[in-house]
């Protein structure tokens, strides 16, 4: 039993040693890399062609080796990105100083390019290598990226954002043509925001490649598209014109509180429209929507019998027609609604109060306004 136990322990020791050796070789490689030498880094990775970052940590005893490697790689990448950030800031300061009469500058810009070392690292060819020196008990990392690769990345991003903005703008136009106004506004705003993000990419590109021309920067393409987007937004944000066709119908007998059209509810709805960026127009041809409202009344109680109260329902049926799409978008009837009746001294008084109830207005607006704003 002792012999078997000794064999088992020996096998565990061998496994541990093998794991440590393979980890060291797979993660850090054999032999010291040449990039540990500063002169080598300066010669093989000249600043005219590369951005580089370097970091070391001799306190790895405080943490596991793999954790120390991850941290030192991040530090090297931070060193690299910080050099780009400083260059962008200096370039911006010089440009600002050149525009001021007294030779001074008071405005600077620091552009955050940490994404270089994060989600977009693979896209731009960022390379990071690490090495552990077991004698010095120090872990090193070297990060580098070609200026050309970085410049190409920003050229690609400018192109992609413009393509996305053009797609969003085209969709906004289609939504506007189909009468979906609010959706068109949202999509146009989305296109505008995409165009706004391009300046950051363009600033990076100019800093990295001062010879970048119009084919890469695409200033005119962005300018023309932005003008179209803003014009569309002006058009979409203008007041929506609604032609309102109101009339009152008698149902006959005791249900009719009025002998003629009282003209109460139409004015209430027109006022509600004006409070929601809409305006009633008498010109049917200039309107985007046609709203038809037909009102009537129903007697709820006549003031005799066991209930000595006069009360009437205010009824409304209507429809909303979209002139842009030539289609009816809403059709509704509110008849004897429990939220739309009132009492009064006379039938006219009770029905007038009923038509002025906020609940009736809110119900009608709730059925037509979403269709106008969609």
Residue 24's pLDDT band, with cuts at 50, 70 and 90, is: very low
pLDDT greater at residue 364 or residue 91: 364
Residue 180's pLDDT band, with cuts at 50, 70 and 90, is: confident
Tell me the average pLDDT across 117-145.
Answer: 76
Tell me the average pLDDT across 223-237.
Answer: 89
Q: How far apart are the first and last CA of the chain?
A: 82
3-state secondary structure of 344: strand
Six-digit token string for 218: 């695409």
Residue 343's pLDDT band, with cuts at 50, 70 and 90, is: very high
* Percent residues over pLDDT 70 in the chain: 80
* Percent residues over pLDDT 90 in the chain: 44
Residue 372's pLDDT band, with cuts at 50, 70 and 90, is: confident
Where is average pLDDT lowest: 1-5, 159-163, 173-177, 351-355?
Answer: 1-5
Handedness of CA 76, 82, 88, 91 (dihedral sign): negative
The predicted-structure confidence for 38-68, as pLDDT tens digits, reads as follows 999 999 999 888 999 999 987 665 668 888 8
* Pairing, β 310-322 against β 127-133: unpaired
Where is average pLDDT lowest: 4-13, 84-93, 179-188, 217-226?
Answer: 4-13
Question: According to the model, what pLDDT value does residue 248 have?
Answer: 95
Residue 189's pLDDT band, with cuts at 50, 70 and 90, is: very high
Rounded-to-integer distance, Cα 69 and Cα 76, Å: 11
Residue for token digits 């009282």?
262
- DSSP labels, 207-231: HH-TT--HHHH-HHHHHHHHHHHHH
Six-digit token string for 353: 């109060």
Most confident stretch, 6-15, 115-124, 168-177, 209-218: 168-177
Where is average pLDDT lowest: 118-132, 164-178, 191-205?
Answer: 118-132
Where is average pLDDT lowest: 65-79, 260-274, 337-351?
Answer: 65-79
The beta strand positions in the chain, using DSSP E, are 50-57, 127-133, 138-146, 240-248, 278-281, 289-302, 310-322, 327-334, 341-344
Determine contact, residues 342/297, Cβ cutoff 8 Å. no
Name the packing angle between helices 2-28 and 65-99 (round to 10°).
Answer: 10
Residue 330's DSSP bridge partners are 320
Determine contact, residues 341/299, Cβ cutoff 8 Å. no
Average pLDDT, rounded, for the chain: 80
Tell me the average pLDDT across 266-280.
Answer: 91
Q: Which of 300, 304, 306 shows the shortest CA–CA distance to 343?
A: 300
Would the pTM count as exceeding 0.75?
A: no
C-alpha distance from residue 47 to each of 42, 91, 137, 313, 320 (Å) = 7, 16, 30, 84, 67
Q: Per-residue b/e over 61-91, b at no fewer than 16 CB within 10 Å?
A: eeeebeebbebbbbbbbbbbbeebbeebeeb
Six-digit token string for 114: 């940490």
Domains of the chain with CATH codes: 16-147 (3.10.129), 149-237 (1.20.58), 240-373 (3.40.50.10610)
């Amino acid at each position: 039993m002792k012999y078997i136990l000794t064999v088992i322990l020996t096998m565990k020791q061998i496994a541990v040693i093998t794991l440590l050796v393979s980890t060291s070789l797979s993660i850090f490689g054999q032999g010291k890399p040449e990039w540990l030498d500063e002169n080598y880094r300066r010669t093989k990775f000249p600043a005219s062609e590369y951005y580089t970052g370097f970091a070391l940590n001799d306190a790895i005893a405080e943490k596991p080796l793999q954790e120390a490697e991850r941290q030192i790689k991040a530090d090297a990448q931070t060193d690299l990105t910080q050099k780009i950030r400083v260059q962008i800031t200096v370039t911006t300061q010089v440009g600002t100083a050149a525009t001021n009469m007294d030779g001074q500058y008071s405005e600077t810009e620091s552009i955050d390019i940490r994404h270089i070392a994060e989600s977009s690292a693979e896209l731009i060819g960022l390379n990071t290598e690490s090495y552990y020196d077991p004698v010095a008990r120090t872990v090193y990392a070297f990060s580098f990226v070609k200026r050309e690769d970085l410049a190409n990345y920003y050229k690609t991003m400018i192109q992609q954002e413009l393509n996305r903005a053009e797609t969003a703008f085209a969709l906004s136009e289609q939504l506007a043509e189909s009468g979906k106004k609010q959706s068109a506004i949202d999509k146009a705003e989305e296109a505008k925001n995409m165009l706004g993000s391009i300046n950051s990419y363009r600033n990076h590109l100019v800093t990295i490649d001062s010879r970048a021309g119009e084919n890469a920067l695409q200033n005119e393409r962005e300018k023309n598209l932005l003008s179209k987007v803003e014009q569309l937004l002006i058009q979409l944000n203008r007041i929506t014109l609604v032609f309102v066709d109101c009339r009152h119908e008698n149902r006959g007998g005791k249900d009719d509180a009025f002998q003629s059209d009282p003209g109460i509810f139409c004015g209430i709805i027109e006022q509600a429209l004006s409070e929601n960026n809409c305006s009633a127009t008498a010109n049917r041809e200039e309107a985007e929507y046609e709203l038809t409202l037909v009102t009537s009344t129903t007697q709820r109680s006549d003031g005799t019998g066991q209930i000595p109260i006069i009360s009437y329902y205010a009824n409304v049926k209507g429809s909303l027609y979209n002139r842009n799409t030539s289609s009816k978008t809403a059709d509704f009837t509110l008849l004897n609604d429990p939220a739309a009746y009132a009492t009064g001294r006379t039938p006219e008084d009770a029905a007038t109060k009923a038509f002025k109830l906020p609940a009736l207005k809110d119900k009608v607006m709730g059925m037509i306004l979403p269709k106008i704003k969609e």
